[in-house]
Amino acid sequence: EFRDAQRVDIRRWNNANSPTVGIYRCDIPTNNVNDDDDISVRDRPVYVGLYTGSTGDISISGGVTFDPSQLTLTCISTGGPATTVTWTRDSTTVTQGTQTVLNDPVTAQYIHTLTVTTAGQYTCTVANNKPSSASSASTTVAGLPSPTDVTAVQDGLTSITVTWTTPDPLDGITGYTISFTGGGSSGSETVSSGNTMSHFLTGLTNGQTYTISIVATTNGLSSAPEQATVGLVMS
């Protein structure tokens, strides 16, 4: 191609001249090449992807990794054209994570992250607009053990005492979240010690039936809920 009698070069990043699949760089001089003030897009490259007609080339390196201190899942993909990522937990789509370019577009390498709050098997699937091109990798985030033997007993006209048995071993449990629903209202309270085995709920409504749910927690990750039901009656 030519513009204003100047050559416009488009070449593969590794300077190979043969037409092939890859990322191409377009250099467009803005002045005569011999001018001292020559400025070109060479200084601000524009990258053009050229791929085969039926498929793109996508791969995931290192599988999916979990950072428990940050509660994040990460998978790294390489390929093109531009990719999209879908996260699933136990085959159910979850909120799409973030996608960030790790380095320049020549390698088309991306890092995909997702914040985790629930245990399960998570899968990162990366795809582009080529129907036959997709790559996926999975990992399992181990759940916390749930408390057992949950009971809820009326303790006053508008109060409930909730008791449970702590898991043995505690496996890193740092506390519990006790939730309640009933009487047209709901709420939750937290317990900050993993060794605690009871909690007092008050300010409820007499004559209503409440469902109590308790989960073990650590650093933002929760166990499966255990429930109990109690009705408040005049006593």
Average pLDDT estimate for 178-207: 93
Name residue 73's amino acid.
Answer: L
Q: Confirm if 216 and 222 have CB atoms less than 8 A apart.
A: yes
Taken as a whole, the chain contains a residue count of 235
Give the per-residue pLDDT at 163.
96
The pair of three-digit structure tokens given for residue 204, joined into one six-digit string: 């409820």
Q: Which of 8-12, 88-92, 95-99 has the lowest mean pLDDT?
A: 8-12
**Which band of pLDDT confidence, cut at 50, 70 and 90, is reported for residue 226?**
very high
Give the per-residue pLDDT at 5.
44
Angle ∠(45,48,49) on CA atoms, nearest 5? 140
Give the per-residue pLDDT at 84.
82
Helices vs strands, H then E, count in the chain: 0, 21
pTM of the model: 0.52
